Amino acid sequence: MMELVDVEALREYVASLPLHERWFLLLVGAIGTLLVLSVLFTGYTIFLRLRNLAKERLWGVREERWTQVVLEALTSEGPVEEVVSRIPKGDRLPFLDFLQRYARRVRGPERRRLDALARPFLSDLLPELANRNPYQRARAVQTLGMLGYQEHRSAVARMLDDPAPFVAMVASRAVLAQGDQELAPKVLARLERFGSWSVEYLTGLLSRAGVFMLPHLRAVMVDTSRPGWVRTVAVRTLEELHDAESADAAAAALAPDPEPDLAVALLRLLAEVGRGEHLPRVLALTSAEHEGVRGAAFRGVGALGGKDDLPLLLDGLHDPSPWVAIRAARALREVGGDGSLEAIFHSPHPRADLAGQVLKEKQ
């Protein structure tokens, strides 16, 4: 009851104060509250820092111990079970993460020994494939793909259809890195899921799979039911793998006037592996509306054409796009038009500087 009286008295006292003094009291109260919060946040920050330092020290001690364990396993000829028994159950998953760092650096018998060391722990990762956190699932797939692919191949295969594209990509990388001839085409069939990755990245990924992918890539290249960017990835991979057998199909794919990125990729492929009979399809695109397509077409003329194409290439120097004009100039040089470039360089031609630049590239 006394507290209520005191509170009421305090309220009456505050109410009796002039307005500017009440504002001052409010300001003091706000400053006090902020000061208390600041002290609390500072204390929490210090607590987190100390906790992280303790974790770092603990991890350092474990890493030092595990390094000795791994080196002993790699250099010893005895059974790995003796080494495995020295890893506590609670350290198994962190130990697998540690082993991955070694797996990237060793080859041959040492790598097989490392895989044997990891094998008893890999089953502990299987429940992580159903973890609600996609990053935990991805880490589990990555570890299985690197340290136990053959034993857990079916588990990795299931993750190709994981709801999270990021997890499916990790599984795809594992499949392609292993050169799995049965599962790798399934990655190609699911390529639409990876639209947020760049064409360059996907091309590099697929090209590492091996030449057994070539028939599947050719099929995607000509499959008009697939998105243009997917076909572009297939074409760029065929170029990367220098697939001469894809030239005829690539030339045929140019006929329906494909979208620009796909057309550029097809023209690049023909410049790499095409033959003289493919030249008419390439010539037809030197007047395309898209400047990227025109530039790639002139590059193709330089690779597949001859001196009969000099007039066309000379016209190409007048293209409104400097990028296309330099492609035409380089093609001119490739078909033996150095004399024409020299004449242009020493003339008042609007592309004289460009011709000089291309002539210097040859030196």
Radius of gyration of the chain (CA): 33
Q: Which amino acid is at 5?
A: V
Write down the residue that tokens 């392609």 correspond to: 176
Which is more confidently placed, 362 or 206? 206
Query: Residue 189: is its pLDDT beyond 90?
Result: yes
Query: Residue 4: is its pLDDT beyond 60?
Result: no
In this prediction, residue 38 has a pLDDT band, given cuts at 50, 70 and 90, of confident
Q: Which amino acid is at 57?
A: R
Among the ranges given (28-37, 134-143, 150-159, 237-246), the one the predictor scored with the smallest mean pLDDT: 28-37
Q: What pLDDT, on a 0 to 100 scale, did the predictor assign at position 82?
A: 67
Q: What pLDDT, on a 0 to 100 scale, did the predictor assign at position 60?
A: 64
* CA nearest neighbour of 209 among 232, 186, 225: 186
Distance of CA 51 to the CA centre of its chain: 34
Q: Which domains does the chain have, with CATH numbers?
A: 69-80+92-178 (no CATH), 179-249 (no CATH), 275-363 (1.25.10.10)
Q: What pLDDT, on a 0 to 100 scale, did the predictor assign at position 47?
A: 78
Percent of the chain with pLDDT over 90: 61
Helix, strand, coil abundance in the chain, percent, nearest 5: 80, 0, 20
Q: What is the mean pLDDT of the chain?
A: 88
Query: Residue 92: is its pLDDT beyond 70?
Result: yes
Query: Residue 216: is its pLDDT beyond 70?
Result: yes
Cα angle: 284, vertex 232, 312; to 5 degrees: 20
The Cα 303–Cα 293 span in angstroms is 15
The whole-number average pLDDT for the span 254-279 is 93
The whole-number average pLDDT for the span 151-166 is 95
Q: What pLDDT, on a 0 to 100 scale, did the predictor assign at position 1?
A: 42
Cα angle: 36, vertex 39, 42; to 5 degrees: 150
Query: Residue 2: is its pLDDT beyond 50?
Result: no
